[in-house]
Amino acid sequence: MNQPQIQIPLDLPNVRVENYEQTDKGLVITVVSICTTAACRQCGRTIDKFHGYDKAITLRHLPIFDRPVWIRIRPKRFQCRYCDKGPVTTQRYEWYEPKSPHTKAYENWILRELINSTLSDVSLKRDLGAECIEGILDRHIQREVEWSAVPHLALLGIDEIALKKGHKDFVVIVSGLTAQREKYILAVLPDRKKETVKAFLKTLPPRQCQSIRHVCIDMNEGYCNAVLETLPKAQVVVDRFHVAKHYRDCADKARKAEMKRLKQTLPESEYRELKGAMWAFRKPWNNLGEEQQVVLLSLFRQAPILKEVYVQREVLTGIFEKDLTKAQAEQALTQWLDRITELGLDCFSPFATTLSNWRDHITNYFIRRETSGFVEGLNNKIKVIKRRCYGIYNLGRLFQHIWLDVQGPRTFFPEH
Ligand SMILES: [Zn+2]
């Protein structure tokens, strides 16, 4: 065959190509080391007394033009003249790890492929067994935080995710943010108990305890106390989105109750006109299309109390949107509470209770507004990871996957 040919550098240092051949499993490139010394495994001295070749190893390497590539090498062996009994040392190469069946370049490529992807996708697309990929994960990524690699954090986020839909198996994700807004995954904890969270927080290096100013949490007393007891200097901030979820649920309950009433009292044709009211009710007025606004207005005509509920929910959101000081926010929330009492909007009572219990931590949000978006952003990422890693119940493995998605891009694509 007379095909056009090109030459590509192999990018493996200190070897020369001895031979290459096309086989059933791909292109096998046989290389020989050009290094003429090794470091004695016993005394560490540089030794150069050649002692033959070790048995051949074949390592998977980066594919070329969609063909699998394998590097075959017989490592050189050298004998020490200085040590007693002349121990023999096998040469090591910087481009592969002794226990790995792949070159380092190949493993780094697979790790990049795993970012924002599932293990089974990568396994399928790269024709690589799941165990091989797990081996790569374990060789390169820790199953828990390596504190020496984490710079000073300004903020911690503590949040939970359910591992199975509808199940009560929650794990707690602890994440961190530097002043430069770089995200770090710090822990995947097995349960939501205060003692579990506290035990982890106690492992924070002292320099981190000094630098962490804020801890973002859900309204969970256990987390709150764990933080107050271990990081007395940090301020607890209740994530704004958790607050919003709480009062929005109150409004939704009122809507459901009214819809149920209307279903029983309205003629069927009129009730049918309220179709789509649920979605319209959940959105702010300005985000609604004209049709949705019409549906919502018909709902308000049939159930006037829902108009008040809707307006007050949006007023509350407005408070969190505004650039208020903590004191101003406290005042605005008090006025809001007075107003719902005046209007007799009992549906918000559970939220009023929450607000009185958590007032200080909720209004801490106004001291440093940027804190909340980060935890939310990370949680969204984890939600996606969760869907991708469905069935990963091994917490160390989950940590590795979250690490790849959160920290992988800047580790493997530092130019971005
Ligand atoms: Zn030696």
* 176 within a domain of the structure (yes/no): yes
CA of 149 to the centre of ligand 1 (A): 34
> How much is the pLDDT for 376?
67
Q: Tell me how far the alpha carbon of residue 99 lies from the centroid of ligand 1, in angstroms.
A: 23
pLDDT at 370 over 70: no
Is 254's pLDDT higher than 70? yes
Q: Within this chain, do residues 251 and 361 fall inside the same structural domain, yes or no?
A: yes
Residue 88 CA, ligand 1 centroid: distance in Å: 8
Torsion of Cα atoms, 37 then 40 then 46 then 51, to 10°: -40
Residue 390 confidence (pLDDT): 64
Q: At what angle do helices 240-265 and 349-363 cross, to 10 degrees?
A: 170
Cα of 37 to ligand 1 centre, how many Å? Answer: 12
Statement: residue 375 has pLDDT above 70: no
Give pLDDT, residue 19: 93
CA of 46 to the centre of ligand 1 (A): 8
Q: Is the domain of 397 the same as that of 344?
A: no
Q: Are residues 387 and 400 in the same domain?
A: yes
How far away, in angstroms, is 87 Cα from ligand 1 center?
7
In a domain, 248, yes or no: yes
Ligand 1 centroid from CA 77, angstroms: 13
Last residue of a domain, one of 70, 95, 120: 95
* Domain annotation covers residue 236: no
Q: Say yes or no: 44 and 88 in one domain.
A: yes
Q: Does residue 107 form part of some domain?
A: no
110 located within any domain: no
Ligand 1 center from residue 71 Cα (angstroms): 29
- Final residue of a structural domain among 59, 77, 95: 95
Å from CA of 15 to ligand 1 middle:
25
Residues 33-91: pLDDT tens digits?
999 999 999 999 999 999 999 999 999 999 998 899 999 999 999 999 999 999 999 99
Residues 280 and 298 in one domain: yes
Q: How many separate domains does the chain show?
A: 3
Distance 55 CA to ligand 1 centre (A): 22
- 86 Cα to the center of ligand 1, angstroms: 7
| Buried b or exposed e, range 46-78, using 16+ CB within 10 angstroms | ebeeebeeeeeeebbbbeeeeebbbbbbbbbbb
How much distance in Å is there from the Cα of 97 to the middle of ligand 1?
22
State residue 392's pLDDT score: 73
CA 245 to centroid of ligand 1, rounded, Å = 67
Count of all residues that appear for the chain in the document: 416
Question: Within this chain, do residues 374 and 307 fall inside the same structural domain, yes or no?
Answer: no
Same domain (yes/no): 6, 38: yes
Going from the Cα of 54 to the center of ligand 1, the distance in angstroms, rounded, reads 18
For ligand 1, the distance from its centroid to the CA atom of residue 397, given in whole angstroms, is 40
- Banded pLDDT at 385 (limits 50, 70, 90): confident
Domain contains 102 = no
Whether residues 361 and 258 share a domain: the answer is: yes
- Ligand 1 midpoint to CA 20 (Å): 35
Same domain, 248 and 346: yes
Residue 112, in any domain of the structure = no
Tell me what the pLDDT averaged over the chain comes to.
90
Residues 331 and 379 in one domain: no
Angstrom distance (rounded) from CA 216 to CA 227: 10
pLDDT of residue 239: 80
Q: Which domain holds residue 302?
A: 241-366
pLDDT band at 1 (very low <50, low <70, confident <90, very high): low
Does residue 342 share a domain with residue 288? Answer: yes
**What residue type is assigned to position 194 of the chain?**
K
Q: Which of 71, 95, 119 is the last residue of a domain?
A: 95
In a domain, 76, yes or no: yes
Tell me the mean pLDDT in the region 326-336: 95
Predicted pLDDT of residue 108: 94
Same domain, 403 and 316: no
